[in-house]
Each structure stands twice: as structure tokens, then as C-alpha cells.
Amino acid sequence: MTKLIGNLVFGQSGGPTSVINSSAAGVFLEALAHPDVIQNIYGMRHGIEGILRDELFDIGREDRKELEYLMGTPSSILGTCRYKIASPDKDETDLRRIHEVLAKRNIRYFFYNGGNDSMDTCLKVKRYLEAKEYECRVIGIPKTVDNDLYGTDHCPGFGSAARYLATSIAEVWHDARSYRTPMAIVFECMGRHAGWLTGASALAGVIGHGPDLIYLPEVPFDIHRMVEDARKVLEKRNVVLISVSEGIRTEDGALVAEQLSSRATDSFGHKQLGGVAALLANQLADQLGLKVRGIEFSLLQRCAAHAASGVDIEEAVLAGRSGVKAALQGTSGVMIAFNRPAAEPYRCEITHVPLGETANKEKTVPREWINSAGNYVTQAFIDYALPLIQGDPYQAHENGLPRFARLKKILG
């Protein structure tokens, strides 16, 4: 192995999570431990756009303590983006610019933290630099609350969002059950194509306070069947709790949210924006004649660091640290991934997935982890997800409020 001396850059991309900054902490703290090889550590301002604009923060000028506070700070501290660089066969401008900035700054370690698209970015960067014979080790760090990344047992960000959802639903269960009044509550969880987060609602059921019905985007949704399912639950008790993915679709592939909301227009003739939870709750009110609530977890579920999973935080840090260690040992062109060697006891091993195998693919919930009626997840799903929400969050408090990392973010 050649000892590749140079600088490191790390960027965050796509939708934030509660622990994306934990991976940042992992990368930064590990990189700082190797000053003989990694000289300067940079953070991309708003992901790959930070490279294109040559706007990089000098992480070496941050206080170490503040970098540790990143483990209790949600969202993308460096800024994120959704920029997708062009394919080099169509337009080389972006890649040429990336090469130019990396070379100018002698950056030899390129780290990018994100989902499918980000792995695609990593792959393009790696191939381009190789073609230009610029030596640079490219590592993808996985991240997504949706847990839909291919090639890894699970993904940093998912466990924390899952824990937040399960905790919140268990609490609302108590609220709803304290009345005699018949009521339906529809929870809306993130997930356009993959129902991992919505399925995680079932974890609240482990302590007996979960939803009665769960509908994932993996199974075609039928509103009449949902109403009938709810009616059956209401024969046994006065409250029905339902979790749905934002991305549920009918048999013909249309988004339920769009179908229902297209029927409603405001006074200006615009389509009413409206989450699928509120829309389905309206339908239940109409058809079952009871009190309803639609609760959309919206951004809350992906940034609730105050309810993060300790396991998720540790693994997010581990992904970052392992990535740096691997790169120092010569690895390049991979995404850091997790493997679970056995169902029990839970243990998480680091593996490397070639970028080409993970980029632009999506992992949905296996059909066999959803019950045959398509209205709940199976025990196998719960056994999979429960270990991922263990351990307390790392959020410190000051004045009754979270003590977030205060980075200086000095452009360097």
C-alpha cells in the first residue's frame, strides 16, 4: 500500500437525518488522528456545490469539543444539496471542475455522505479522476432515513427516525385511548417508494401501543379496504390508529395523495396541498362518522435528534471512522456498508460495497415482511428493526434546550 499524503474533503448530500452529522464527526475525528497522512480536512459547503464553487470549510480550525457535539446535532451542518452532476459522456464541465479544485487543493481523499444519488456522484468522480490519472480515494458514506440504500443491511439515519416514530406513536396511543370517544388517527411517515419508516411504526406495538393498521408503498393501496379494515378494528375498540407511507399508491400506480387532493381545489383554483394522512382521515370521518386526526410527521421525523437511537449514532460515527481507515489503507470506490452476521445477538460489521453496485438502486421492504392482507408488517420486520432503535440519544442540554454543535465554518 502506498501512503497517500494529502488532504481530505467531506460533503453531505440529500435530505438531512438525525445522524448525518455523526458520520461527519466520525470522518473528522478519525482524519484528525492521522496528521502525518491527512494534512488538511475540508468540509464541502452545501455538498458537491461546495467543490464546484470552491467553497470549503477548514475543519482543522474547529474545536474538537464542538465536533463531538455533532453527534447530538441533526441535519447537515455543512449544508446539503440535491445537485446531480452530469454524466461525463454528456457534459464534462462539472467533473472537470471537481478535478481542478481537488488538484489545486491536493485533495486525495474524497468522502461523500448521502443516498443513492450521492453514490452515483462518487462513482462518476472516481471514474473521472482515474481516467485523468489523479490519485484520489473516493469513499461513499451511507445516509438516509428511508433505509432504501442497496447493499447494506440498514442505513444510518433510519434507526433514529424509527425510534422517534415508534416513541411518538406510543405516546399518541395513550392520548387517543384516554377518551371514550370513537376516533381514528392516521399517521403519515416518510417513504415515497420504500415503507421502512412506516413499517417501523410497528415497533410501538412491541410494547402494546402501536398502530392497528400499516400500509406501505410496496403493496397497492385500496381506500375501501382501508375503511373496512378500520371498521373491523372499531368493532373491538373505540380507537383505530393507522400508519401510512406518504408514497402509497393505488393499483394503477397513482399516488393516493395526488388522487385525493386533486379532487379539492382552493378558491384560487389551485390544487390543495395536503398530506395523505389528512386526506385519508377525512375519508374515514366521512365514511365511518367519527372524530379523526391526521398527523404528518413531516420534517420532524428526520431531524428529531432528541429522540435519536444510540445504536444509530454509534454506527453513523463508525461508518465515518471506518471509511477514513479504509481509505488510508488504500480502499477506494466503495460505499461503507453494514452487515448483520446473525439475527441474534445483534451485531453490526462494516463491509465495503463497490459503488457501481449500490448507485441508483432502491431497496424496498420484502413482500414477505408484510402480512398477506397488506395491512401490517410481520415479526421478521420487527426483529430486523428493533435492534436499530436501541440506546439513548447523545443530545446534551443547556438551559433546557439542545446543545448543538457550534462550528465556526471558516472557509479555508
CB 17, CB 49: distance < 8 Å: no
Spatial neighbors of 322 by CB under 8 A, at least 6 apart, are: 26, 336, 350
Least distance between a second copy and beta carbon 337 (Å) = 22
Regarding 345 and contact with a second copy (CB under 8 A), the answer is: no
Cα 126 from Cα 152, distance rounded (Å): 20
Cα 318 from Cα 313, distance rounded (Å): 8
Regarding 202 and contact with a second copy (CB under 8 A), the answer is: no
Q: Which x/- pattern over 266-305 shows residues binding a second copy (rule: CB under 8 A)?
A: xxx-x-xxxx--x--xx--xx-----xxxxx-xxx-xxxx
Q: Radius of gyration of the chain from Cα atoms?
A: 23
C-alpha cell at 331: 480502499
Q: Write phi, then psi, for 3 (nearest 5 degrees).
A: -85, 110
The single-letter code of the amino acid at 395 is Q
Least distance between a second copy and beta carbon 125 (Å) = 21
Q: Scan residues 365-404 and list those touching a second copy (CB under 8 A).
A: 386, 389-392, 397-404
Q: Write phi, then psi, for 315 (nearest 5 degrees).
A: -70, -35
For a second copy, the closer of residues 302 and 363 by Cβ is 302
Active site members: 146
Size of the site for a second copy (CB under 8 A): 79
What is the 3 state secondary structure string of 292-349?
EEEEECCCHHHHCHHHCCHHHHHHHHHHHHHHHHHHHCCCCCEEEEEECCCCCCCCCE
Pairing of strands 213-215, 239-245: parallel
For a second copy, the closer of residues 110 and 164 by Cβ is 164
Report the residue from 96, 179, 231, 380 that binds a second copy according to the rule CB under 8 A.
Answer: 179
Least distance between a second copy and beta carbon 15 (Å) = 8
Q: Scan residues 105-144 and list those touching a second copy (CB under 8 A).
A: none
Regarding 171 and contact with a second copy (CB under 8 A), the answer is: yes
For a second copy, the closer of residues 136 and 242 by Cβ is 242
Q: Scan residues 15-54 and list those touching a second copy (CB under 8 A).
A: 16, 46, 49
Regarding 203 and contact with a second copy (CB under 8 A), the answer is: yes
Cα 30 from Cα 324, distance rounded (Å): 7
Residues forming beta bridges with residue 14, ordered by sequence position: none
Q: Scan residues 52-91 and list those touching a second copy (CB under 8 A).
A: 73-77, 79-82
Regarding 238 and contact with a second copy (CB under 8 A), the answer is: no
Least distance between a second copy and beta carbon 224 (Å) = 15
Least distance between a second copy and beta carbon 187 (Å) = 10
Least distance between a second copy and beta carbon 366 (Å) = 23
For a second copy, the closer of residues 307 and 353 by Cβ is 307
